[in-house]
Amino acid sequence: MVESRVRVALKGEIDIFTAGEACRPLDAIDGPAVVDLAEVRLLTAAGLAELARVARRVGHRAVVLARPAPHVRRVLDIARFDLLFVIE
C-alpha cells in the first residue's frame, strides 16, 4: 500500500505580520504531508514557529518540506529543522 500524503503549498513572505494567514493551509495537515516551499520568498521565526507547530501535532519527520529556495533552505538549516522534518 502506498502512503498518501497531503500536499500544501506556502508562498510569499512569511513573517510576524503574515504568518497567521500565510500558514493557514498548514491547519489541514493531520498526518504525513508535503509542504511545498518553492514560492516562499522570506521565512522568519514566525514562519518557523508555524512549521514547528505542525511537527508537534503530527510527529517529527512526518512532514516533508519540499523545494525551498537556497535562502529559505539556509534558514531551515540554521534552525536545525532537519531534526523535525525531511527537507528535500
**More confidently predicted of 71 and 2:** 71
- Give the whole-number percent of the chain exceeding pLDDT 70: 97
DSSP letter at 60?
A: T
Domains with residue ranges and CATH for the chain: 6-87 (3.30.750.24)
Distances (CA, A) of 69 to 2, 26, 46, 51, 76: 28, 19, 18, 16, 10
| Structure confidence by residue, pLDDT tens digits, 45-75 | 999 999 999 999 999 899 999 999 999 999 9
Q: What is the mean pLDDT of residues 14-28?
A: 95
The rounded mean pLDDT for the chain is: 94
Query: CA end-to-end span of the chain, whole Å?
Result: 23
3 falls in which pLDDT band (50, 70, 90)? low
Question: Is the pTM above the cut of 0.95?
Answer: no
Distances (CA, A) of 13 to 9, 16, 20, 42, 83: 13, 10, 12, 4, 24
4 falls in which pLDDT band (50, 70, 90)? confident
